[in-house]
Amino acid sequence: MLTNLTNAITVWIYSLYGYTGLAGIVFAMALESCCIPLPSEIVMPVAGIIVGSYYTSHPLHLPGTSPTFPLWLNLVLVALAGALGCLIGSIAAYYIGYKGGRPLLLKYGRYV
């Protein structure tokens, strides 16, 4: 059952990256940092696998990166997108806690 869940998340991440590229990495990492259970242990390695595949015989494509760039530059772009997403998600979670605080927790805490 856990394998099916992991496979479903991986397929969703591949399709997200195929449509949105680096913005998809930012989005997925922001979700993960907002305490939504999307494991970053799948999000970032999948992006690295896609970028690394440029230099194999069966390349995939991640919009926003280029096979003509050196591998290190593509990996730096992916890492920066992941860091930006993590920052955005953390700020969003902090802002929700700052504005809502204890009253929000007392009102909706039993549903979470």
Per-residue pLDDT of 77-89, as tens digits, reads 999 999 999 999 9
Quick one: 8 exposed, middle or buried, by C-beta within 10 A (0-12, 13-18, 19+)? exposed
Quick one: 79 exposed, middle or buried, by C-beta within 10 A (0-12, 13-18, 19+)? middle
Mean pLDDT across 61-71: 78
- What's the pLDDT at 107? 83
Is it the case that residue 67 has pLDDT exceeding 70? yes
pLDDT tens, position by position, 9-39: 888 888 888 888 899 999 999 999 988 888 8
Mean pLDDT across 46-64: 80
Is it the case that residue 102 has pLDDT exceeding 90? no
Structural domain spans, the chain:
2-111
Phi, psi of 20 (to 5 degrees): -115, -20
Q: Are 22 and 77 in contact (CB under 8 A)?
A: yes
- What's the pLDDT at 90? 94
